[in-house]
């Protein structure tokens, strides 16, 4: 039953990304603007949804102009600029 609930949550998450978030963001930032999403890492949120293979695949295959940045796991307010500089330098 837990697996079914997580699967339903994953499908709902993708639907929200496709039907709500992306169209709303595209009004303000139409292509060719790149979009950067920062996912939180709070335990109260369902991290299984954010890290699910189907969600990662949706971002990789269908949304080439969207970059997803993970939020630091330990302390989101501690030296965040240093964290993101490190993330960006690893990609280049």
Q: What is the Cβ-side half-sphere exposure of residue 74, based on CA atoms within 13 angstroms?
A: 4
- Model pLDDT, residue 45: 59
With a cut of 80, say whether residue 56 has pLDDT above it.
yes
Q: How confident is the model at residue 89 (pLDDT cuts 50, 70, 90)?
A: low
Residues 4-37: pLDDT tens digits? Answer: 777 788 899 899 989 998 899 999 988 888 888 8
pTM of the model: 0.63
SS (H, E, C) the chain: CHHHHHHHHHHHHHHHHHHHHHHHHHHHCCCCCCEEEEECCCCCCCHHHHHCHHHHHHHHHHCCCEEEEECCCCCCCCCHHHHHHHHHHHHC
């Amino acid at each position: 039953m837990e697996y079914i609930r997580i699967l339903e949550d994953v499908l709902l998450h993708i639907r929200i990304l496709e039907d709500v978030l992306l169209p709303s963001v595209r009004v303000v930032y139409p292509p060719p603007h790149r979009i950067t999403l920062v996912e939180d890492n709070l335990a109260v949120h369902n991290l299984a949804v954010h890290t699910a293979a189907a969600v990662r695949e949706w971002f990789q295959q269908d949304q080439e102009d969207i970059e997803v940045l993970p939020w630091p796991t330990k302390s989101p307010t501690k030296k965040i600029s240093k964290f993101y500089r490190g993330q960006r330098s690893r990609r280049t």
